[in-house]
Structure 1
Amino acid sequence: MVFIGGAGNMAGAVIGGLVADGYPADRIVATGRNRGKLDEFAARSGVQVSTDNETAIGDADILVLSVKPQVMKDLCESIRDAVQQRRPLVVTLAAGIPLAAYQRWLGEGVPVVRAMPNTPALVGTGVTGLYAAADVSEQQRGQAQRIAEAVGLAHWVDDESGIDQVIAVSGSGPAYYFLFMEAMIDAAEKAGMARADAERLTLQTALGAAKLAAASDVDVAQLRRNVMSPGGTTERAVQRFQQGGLEQLVEQAMSDCAERAAQMARELDQ
């Protein structure tokens, strides 16, 4: 398995998850331009490293592309001949680029899976949306799923536009929670709590709520109601959120996010 851009944060997290899950480190090659950074990553992870993409691809059955979307076209065109000769499964971690673009840049006949991980993947609790080209085999889908599950939950979509919905929920979703946590911390500080205490309590509360929801056999609406005593403090706070149109605002924000994701895909496909 070859990771181009393998010493970067996201690729490094995936590699770490795979190794922790039992995938042999010596069967992974991470490539990049910075030899010093690669050597440090090799010492830390036990994987092989290389600055030569084409040579690394020569033995690859799985090729993971983990570079910025803005340089993906140039990268794909530079490795096109090696990819066409080997025909590995290509898993791309870059956001926003549609399959049609990879098929043009890498050439026809290359099985490609789009993977959209989110930043909690860096700590092993991510969500990765997956969409496969029609020529990706069941075995290859399983290989892509193992890569995704190395850093959290894998979620397949049947239509490529479904990736935009994944972005709206989980790709961009961490920022929504960070914003809400930021607002809670600021509000607690304004009410007189020390900021360090406000941050510690807010983060632990968010963590606890997420763990409780994940472990519960009831939906989150019921969990909310379980906290709300009639006429109590929580009910008063929740009513204020609802009077301010929280649910409608979230719906519109996620719609805007998905719309922008589709727009960016069209721009990157040019």
Structure 2
Amino acid sequence: MSTLLDRVNADGLVLFGCGKMGSALLQGWLDAGVRPDAITVLDPHPSDWLQGLQTDGLKINADLDSPAVCVLAVKPQIIAAANTLNGPGFAGTLFVSVAAGTTLVVLGDILGPEPAIIRTMPNTPAAIGQGITALVGNARCRAEDLALAEVMLSTVGQVVRLDSEAQMDAVTGTSGSGPAYVFHFIECLAAAGEAEGLSPEVAMQLAKATIAGAGALAQASEKPVSTLRENVTSPNGTTAAGLSVLMAEQKGLPALVRATVRAATTRSVELGKG
């Protein structure tokens, strides 16, 4: 990691847009050892936190000269504004986009045919360093470009590489939208506990801690998640009774989750078309 970050510290890093995701990435880079004076942020409304980093050398809306990387962290509705980066000041720069639903073809139309461009799909737990990001590059990307993007994005969580851009819609439907599914399951689990006699506060605390703890155990364990589930499930016990409803073939969670991810994936395809 240090060798790749040395390239950023030597040649510079540009962050185009610094909202919630951009801020999470910026904090991750600083924590990983990217020097503030190697970073330039382009943002029309810099936050107080961002302006405070200027005392450490971070630059805001400054002139640029062929930085190593430019990360596009704006909403897809305004990604077209990145056409201002299509010029000699970005010759040889690697572009990394976190703009949801914006294809490599669209990014190429905006940035021109020359740059190496990597499209990514992070998710919101990146804000606490627990995200997961999928990435795929255009034909101009070299192995070292993908490696650099992976290192930079790993500062806010896990990273996976895709075989093709066609898989990005499924990523969006699974992990991109996935945190919302989990949040709603927490709501539902808490409401069910409340319906069985728990106070709202206790029910929510139990639901949050249960989901967080189970997720952490699944990440930490080398056992398949099916084995972890089976370890909790005694024959004819309480968990088995609950799972008999949750795992019902027609009306249970498997069919519902498949339909959920399919709906989100289909919508991602539609948005990608325009």
TM-score by length of 1: 0.91
Alpha-carbon RMSD across the aligned residues, in angstroms, is: 1.6
Distance 1:130 1:136, change over 3 A: same
Alpha-carbon contact 1:111-1:135 (below 8 Å) kept: yes
What corresponds to 1:67 in structure 2? 74
- State the distance in 1 between where 2:57 and 2:169 align: 33
CA drift of 1:82 comes to 4.4
Q: Aligned residue pairs: how many?
A: 259
Could you say which residue in structure 1 is the equivalent of 2:252?
245
For 1:51, the equivalent position in structure 2 comes to: 61
**Equivalent of 2:108 in 103, 106, 120:** 103
Gaps of 5+ in 1: none
Note the alpha carbon deviations across 1:143-183, whole angstroms, 9 max, x for none.
10012101000011011011112112211111111111100
Show the 5 A alignment for 1:5-44.
Answer: 5-6=17-18, 8-35=19-46, 37=47, 40-44=49-53
Q: Tell me how far apart the structure 1 counterparts of residues 45 and 218 of structure 2 sit (CA, whole Å).
A: 43
**Partner residue of 1:153?**
158
- C-alpha contact 2:66 2:92 (8 A) present in aligned 1: no
Superposed structure 1 runs of 4+ greater than 4 Å apart? none
Match of 1:165 among 158, 170, 186: 170
What residue is the counterpart of 1:122 in the other structure? 127
Structure 2 regions of 5+ residues with no counterpart?
1-12
Identify the match of residue 135 of structure 1 among 132, 136, 140.
140
Structure-2 residue corresponding to 1:81: 87
For 2:235, which of 230, 236, 239 is the aligned residue? 230
Match of 2:9 in 1: none
Paired residues for 1:190-209 under 5 Å:
190-209=195-214
Distance 2:34 2:110 in 1: 30
- Classify the secondary structure of the residue corresponding to 2:41: strand
- How many angstroms apart in 2 are the aligned matches of 1:135 and 1:33? 30
Matched residue type, 1:90? F
- Which one of the candidate residues 267, 270, 274 is aligned to 1:263? 270
Inter-partner Cα distance in structure 2 for 1:26 and 1:51:
13
SS at structure 1 position matched to 2:136: strand
CA contact 1:115–1:148 (8 Å) conserved in 2 = no
Distance 2:186 2:15 in 1: 34
- How many Å apart are 1:60 and its aligned residue? 1.3
Instruction: Tell whether the 8 Å contact from 2:66 to 2:88 is kept in structure 1 after alignment.
Output: no
Q: State percent identity of aligned pairs.
A: 31
